Amino acid sequence: MDIHQILRQLPHRYPILLVDRVVSLDSGKRIVAIKNVTINEPYFMGHFPHRPVMPGVLMLEAMAQAAALLAFEMQGVTPDNKTVYYFAGIDGARFKRPVEPGDQLKLDVSLERMKAGIFKFKGRTLVGEELACEAELMCTMRSVA
């Protein structure tokens, strides 16, 4: 899935769109996506000027966006202006290494279960083969007026 297909699925836009490409998608099971981290990211001006590091919360957000793409594909839906995909919870978040400009994040997200409209995912971000972040994510889709 290239950036054009991602933009049709996710409502996020610059500077919060954090998925650049989907490398593989196993329907209802797993998605692997890429986020290219560049010095041009707006958060690097303040986090931190002397040593730019990607905020951990944005790694979690990137995994959630990949999870949304998996959920939408699994359900065969394209979200519209009346649908929002929300975090319902984050458990066991651990940050193992800093992510810096020039790194490429591999977002590896697997569906653990879906019950009553709540999705539970296990997500990991890697730089090369090194684990940068891991967490369990709970997300849900809701209609908005």
- Catalytic residue numbers? 47
Nearest to 95 by CA among 68, 71, 65, 130: 130
What element of type H or E holds 8? Answer: helix 3-9
Which phi-psi region, left, alpha or beta, contains residue 38 (left: φ > 0; alpha: ψ -120 to 50)?
beta
Let me know: does 106 contact 49? Beta carbons within 8 Å: no
